[in-house]
């Protein structure tokens, strides 16, 4: 199917925004991974603290 010329121009005009969305998605995924790692670390630290507190 062939798109009318105007549709192609609109799609081309949207491409920078679509690229920005892709970058944001990648950044959000990286941030989620960092949050999961931080959560795991804080749970280990809390367990270690509780263990030391019982002594």
The pLDDT score that the predictor gives to residue 29 is 98
Query: Given a cut of 80, is residue 48 above it in pLDDT?
Result: yes
Q: Which residue has the tokens 């798109």?
A: 3
> What confidence tens digit (pLDDT) does each residue in 6-47 have?
666 668 889 999 999 999 999 999 999 999 999 999 999 999
Tokens of 12: 């081309």
The pLDDT score that the predictor gives to residue 2 is 61
The rounded Cα 37 to chain-centroid distance in angstroms is 14
Residue 52 or 6, more confident: 52
Domain extents for the chain?
Answer: 21-54
Query: Given a cut of 90, is residue 5 above it in pLDDT?
Result: no
Contacts of 11 (CB under 8 A, 6+ apart): 3
Q: How much is the pTM?
A: 0.66
């Amino acid at each position: 199917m062939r798109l009318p010329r105007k549709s192609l121009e609109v799609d081309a005009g949207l491409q920078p925004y679509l690229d920005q969305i892709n970058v944001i998605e990648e950044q959000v995924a990286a941030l989620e991974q960092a949050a999961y790692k931080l959560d795991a670390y804080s749970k280990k630290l809390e367990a270690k603290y509780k263990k030391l507190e019982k002594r």
